Amino acid sequence: MKLAIIPGDGIGKEVTAEALKVLTRVGEVFGRTFEFEHLPWGADYFLETGVTMPPSGYAMLRDDFDAIFIGALGDPRVPDNRHAREILLGTRFELDLYVNYRPVKLLDERLCPLKNRAPKDVNFVVFRENTEGLYVSVGGRFKAGTEDEVAIQEELNTWKGVNRIVRYAFDFAACRGLTKVCMADKSNAMQQGHALWQRVFKDVAAQYPTIQPTHYYIDALAMYMVLDPAQFEVIVTNNLFGDIVTDLGATFQGGLGMAASGNIHPGKTSMFEPVHGSAPKFAGKNIANPIGAISSAALMLETIGLTREAAAIDAAVLKAVRDNQVTSDIGGKLGTREAGDSIANSIREP
């Protein structure tokens, strides 16, 4: 397996090192070779060279690798975040990674900030549309920097884009024997673009008679996630709303350090990353929680068909959480590296 590794910025570098440590251990235990190719793209590289990523970068990621692993991008020295847009969002767009798969799974009751919620109550997935919406940079600024400034940022919704993510959510539910899919939009206020979401959701739901479709406006969804997360199995929503509710979902799991994600185009080279960012104030201190990154590596293996290997990582993460061999954000005493060691050392063949 040939893997492109983009550690990126800040704690991205630290948590990526732990994910690779665990993957290397999985390779030893299961007799597999993971070949890592480190790509230096990130804020340091941009500030040194003026290049975010080379023009051939997207084609190389798509054609030369089985999967891509990325730490996080974002650095106060690049205030317009240009490198993150080109490397992270650019790869999502150029490789057409339309499924942003973000599981929300509580591993241990003590990690959940919600009252009286156990792992059985917090176990759902969010499918975030990943190639359209408000992220497409369509718009512009007129008279920028003056009191007459006009700033326009358009939201793109296409039938093709909405249909494929909604269908993916229903297919996922059907394949896993789940019975509920909830779509969240803001069609009460955004009557053009989100009317399309309404239409597509109704049409696709009609083709899955065993699955109960529900709809919430996004503001109500945020409330119900907190009040009654157990009602959710699969949530599907647009790019921006998915970004926001998955940070909320991360807090149910113990915080941003715990949450994993995949940017997927079924059957093609896909990209995996923790949900969190580069957390500049934590960078270089060996305190960041590596579990979001390590669990993202498990999602990567699962997606490329190494399900036993992925299960071994999930089991090792669960053991570390139960034994409290974890970082301080979730109540442990270990540093990033030591928490990574603990997980790597308990990788076993199932």
CB of 207 to ligand IPM, least distance (A): 29
What CA–CA distance (Å, rounded) separates 186 from 193? 9
Residue 299 touching ligand IPM (CB under 6 A):
no
Distance, CA of 97 to CA of 150 (rounded, Å) = 32
Residue whose entry in the numeric block shows the structure tokens 């926001």:
244
Stretch that binds Mn ion, among 70-78, 172-180, 233-241, 243-251 (CB under 5 A): 243-251
Q: Is 271 in the site for ligand NAD (CB under 6 A)?
A: no
> DSSP H helical segments within 75-192, as ranges?
82-84, 90-94, 159-175
Asked whether position 7 contacts ligand NAD by CB under 6 A, the answer is: no
Q: Are 234 and 180 in contact (CB under 8 A)?
A: yes
Calculate helix-pair angle for 307-322, 11-30, nearest 10 degrees.
120
* From 131, 251, 253, 278, residue interacting with ligand NAD (rule: CB under 6 A): 278
72 binds ligand NAD (CB under 6 A): yes
Rounded to whole angstroms, how far apart are CA atoms 42 and 27?
27
Tell me if 308 sits within 8 A of 269, measured CB to CB.
no
* Partner whose footprint covers residue 289, from ligand IPM, ligand NAD, Mn ion, none (CB < 5 to 8 Å by kind): ligand NAD
Interface positions, 78-137, toward ligand IPM (CB under 6 A): 84, 88-89
Q: Is 213 in the site for ligand NAD (CB under 6 A)?
A: no
In the β-sheet with 123-129, what is the strand arrangement from edge to edge? 35-38, 2-8, 67-72, 270-274, 260-264, 99-105, 123-129, 234-237, 180-185, 212-217
Q: Which is nearer to Mn ion, 242 or 332 (CB)?
A: 242
Count of alpha carbons within 13 angstroms of residue 79, beta-carbon side: 0
What phi, psi does 228 have (nearest 5°)?
Answer: -150, 70
User: In this chain, which residue has its C-beta nearest to ligand IPM?
Assistant: 243
Least separation in angstroms between residue 37's CB and Mn ion is: 26
Choices 53-61, 155-163, 179-187, 236-244; region in contact with Mn ion by CB under 5 A: 236-244
Residue 243 interacts with ligand IPM (CB under 6 A)?
Answer: yes
CA distances, 122 to each of 113, 189, 229, 231, 251 (Å): 11, 29, 6, 9, 11
**Closest approach of Cβ 88 to ligand IPM, in Å?**
6
What is the rounded CA–CA span in Å between residue 317 and residue 331? Answer: 15
- Which of 243, 273, 314, 341: binder of Mn ion (CB under 5 A)? 243
Q: Answer with the entry of Mn ion, ligand IPM, ligand NAD, none that 254 interacts with (C-beta below 5 to 8 A by kind).
A: none
Which residues of the shown chain bind Mn ion in the complex (CB under 5 A)?
243
Which residues of the shown chain bind ligand IPM in the complex (CB under 6 A)?
74, 84, 88-89, 243, 275, 277
